[in-house]
Structure formats: structure tokens, C-alpha cells
Structure 1
Amino acid sequence: MIGKLRGIVDSQGEDHVILDVHGVGYMVHCSARTLQALPQAGETATLAIETVVREDMIRLYGFRSEAEREYFRLLQTVQGVGAKVALGILTALDPAALTAAIARADKTALARAPGVGPRLAVRIATELKDKAPVFVPMPGGPAAPLSPAVADDAPQPLADAVSALVNLGYGEPQAARAVSAAVEQAGEGADVARLIRLALRELAS
């Protein structure tokens, strides 16, 4: 099973890239967002890969990050979302924006993706509400997932705030979402006590 490919960008199609890995050209299907982020032909690219094996085909799907790949898998647990629709959603929304849309049950944002109507948007938000990771700004880098399961990847005050809320009896996804909202209000430099206070207000609202 292929989990990652690093090679030379050979060419791009409407929904795929040909990645030359030591002389073998792999056709990797990607979201438009991922295709736009790839370097020009002749340059090196690395993609996280989801390999789908069926009786009549083997297809590779490529992603810029593990977060995108995990969302590709997670989205397809929702009835009515197949690989094509999942890629469409990841074209319309990056992982951080997708998490925010799910947390807020923002069916308008979700319905921007091709193939997602209002009913499917509601189903996605409802079924994934307690499964989606929460993303927060990371100092000097892109948004990163914040949850107790990946607390080592988050700044210590954020991880400590989530842990404190969990100790108070809140569920992990609920606590992580509240701390994420607190970070938006207070900024990345806020201390644990302030994050907890703001998160508790969020939970009480």
C-alpha cells in the first residue's frame, strides 16, 4: 500500500498530476487546491497518498498534508460523500476552514463545494461534529490540529487549557473547540488561565 510519494512533477490534468518517481509515472488524483499548490513541471513534490483498491481499479489520491488525507477518509464516512465529492469539499475548504464550518454547522460554507447540497451539508456537519479535529494558529507556521490526542503538536498553554477543561468533565472535542475559539479572541500569546476563562465563557454561551 502506497502512503507517500516524492518525485518530479511531470504533468497535470484537470483532476490529477503525473508524478515521476525514479522513472515510473504515478497518476495521482488531487483536489484543485492541492494541484494549484504543486510546483511547476520538472520540480520535486511530495504528497501524502491514499490508495484505493477495488476489483476493477487501483487509484491513488494525493494530499499536501496528513490533515487533508484524514479529512478525505473522514468525509467518506458520511452517506452520500464519495471520493469525488470529498475532493470537491477539500477544494472549497482547507482543513482549518472545514473544521470551523463543521463546528459552526455552517451549511452555506459546506454547500460551496461541488456536489454538496443543503441536505448533505447538514448531514456532514451533524455526523462529523464530534469527530473533526480543531485547528488553531501555530507560531511561525500554518494552522495545526489541536486536541488532546495531538497535544504535543500544540503550544503548551493550549494543550494545558484543553487538558484542564477535560478534567472539569467536558468532552475532548468540545474542550478543543472552546479553546480554539478562546485563541481567536485572546491571541496566541495568551496564558493558560485566560484561555480557560474565555473557553468556559464559550462553553456557557
Structure 2
Amino acid sequence: MIAKLKGRLDSTGIDHAIIDVGGVGYLVGASSRTLAALGPVGEAVTIHTEMLVSDDAIRLVGFARADERDWYRLLTHVQGVGSRVALAILSALEPHDLHRAIAAGDKAMVARANGVGPKLAQRIVNELKDKIGAVAGGGAIGISGGVTLPAGSFGADALSALQNLGFKPAEASSAVAAAEEELGEGASLDELVRLALRKAAK
């Protein structure tokens, strides 16, 4: 799984950027907020990514900050919210504003995003209200039924990997927590995912 790219900003479009990493150009979909944060073409950039794998394509979605990526993951778990809608929401709202809106049940604020009607906004609020943890200063995201993981950590990446493989959030977070405890600090993402998979499959 590609979790981060560090290279040079080659070019940008309306909804994407191309990051040159060692001569290889990665096309990365992104929100307008992330694109604005990347800076001028030709400059060095670091972008957090989520890799989307389907039957006919592999795509990367990029984020200027890890907490934006974590919110993207939460949003796309809501029925009816695909990648495009999640990016539209993150273009319209800062992560802390989104957290506040969901915690307060403010569907009108969520509905500010392009492509988000009142019914979908209500569903997003209803489904995520119990799933958001204490995102203190954008520092961590909690998943219902599991542990709270630091945003951008290997633990958060491993949790996403297991959920993408079909494990339920509670199962995935318990397995990742057990793997982190066994491996201790300094474990690689690959080691963490492999051990978490073994524990989740038991």
C-alpha cells in the first residue's frame, strides 16, 4: 500500500496533481484544499495518500495532512459517499469544522459541499456521530468499537488496510492494537499489517 509520496510537484489540474518521485510521475486525485496547500509547481512536496484498488484500476488520492486522509477514510465508509463526494466535503470543510458539524448534528454545514444533499448529509451525520473519537487538534481518529490511533501513524494505515480487505472496524482495530503491543515501537508498516492480519483471521 502506498501511504505517502515525497517528491517534486510536476503539475496540477482541477482535481489532481502529478508528483514526480525519482522520475516517476504519480497521478494523485485531491481536494481543492489539498491542491492549494501543495505550493508552486517545481517545489518539493510530501503528500499523504490512500490507494484505491478496483477490478479495472488502481488510483491514488492525496492529502496535504494526515488528518484529512483519516477523515476521507471515515467518510467513504458511509453508504452513498464515494471518493468524489468525500473530496468535495473535504474541499468545503476543514477537518476540525467537519468534526464539529458531525458532533453537533449540523447537517446543513455538511450539505455545503457540492453533491451533498440534505438526505446524504443527514446520513453522514448519523453514521459518523458515534464513530468519531476525540480528534483533539486533529491529532487522532477513533473508530467505534476499537482503539484511538494517531493520525498518519502506521497503526492508522494498518487499520485502513484491514478494513479495505473486508474486516469490520472493531475486528481490525483490535487486531492492530494487539499487533502493535506485540511488536512494540519501531515495527514497519509491513510487519504490522502481516501480524494484524494473522490475529484478525484467528
TM > 0.5: yes
Amino acid at match of 1:43: E
Aligned to 2:123: 123
Q: Distance in 2 between matches of 1:146 and 1:76?
A: 15
**For the structure 1 residues 51 and 27, does the alpha-carbon distance in structure 2 shift closer, same or farther, using more than 3 Å as the test?**
same
Q: Distance in 2 between matches of 1:72 and 1:113?
A: 14
Identity of aligned residues (%): 51
Aligned to 1:59: 59
Answer yes or no: is the 8 Å Cα contact 2:140–2:148 preserved in 1. no
Q: Distance in 2 between matches of 1:85 and 1:146?
A: 20
Match status 1:99 vs 2:94: no
How do residues 13-28 of structure 1 correspond to structure 2 at under 5 angstroms?
13-28=13-28
Shift of 1:71: 1.1
Answer yes or no: is the 8 Å Cα contact 1:99–1:133 preserved in 2. no
Shift of 1:150: 5.5
Aligned to 2:5: 5
Q: Distance in 2 between matches of 1:58 and 1:145?
A: 27
Aligned to 1:36: 36
Shift of 1:145: 3.8
Aligned to 1:158: none
Amino acid at match of 1:144: G
Shift of 1:130: 1.3
Deviations 1:66-124 (CA, angstroms, capped at 9, x unpaired):
21111111111111100000000011111111100000111111000111111111110
Aligned to 2:148: 149
Q: Distance in 1 between matches of 2:77 and 2:26?
A: 26
Structure-2-length-normalised TM-score: 0.68
Aligned to 1:71: 71
Aligned to 1:88: 88
Amino acid at match of 1:149: T
Bigger drift between 11-20 and 58-67 goes to: 58-67
Answer yes or no: is the 8 Å Cα contact 2:88–2:115 preserved in 1. yes
- Residue 6 of structure 1: SS of its match in structure 2? strand
Q: Distance in 2 between matches of 1:135 and 1:30?
A: 22
Amino acid at match of 1:101: A
Q: Distance in 1 between matches of 2:140 and 2:50?
A: 20
Amino acid at match of 1:36: A
Aligned length: 146
What are structure 1's unaligned runs of at least 5 residues? 138-142, 152-205
What are structure 2's unaligned runs of at least 5 residues? 151-202
How do residues 152-167 of structure 1 correspond to structure 2 at under 5 angstroms?
none
Amino acid at match of 1:133: G
Larger Rg: 1
Bigger drift between 62-71 and 108-117 goes to: 62-71
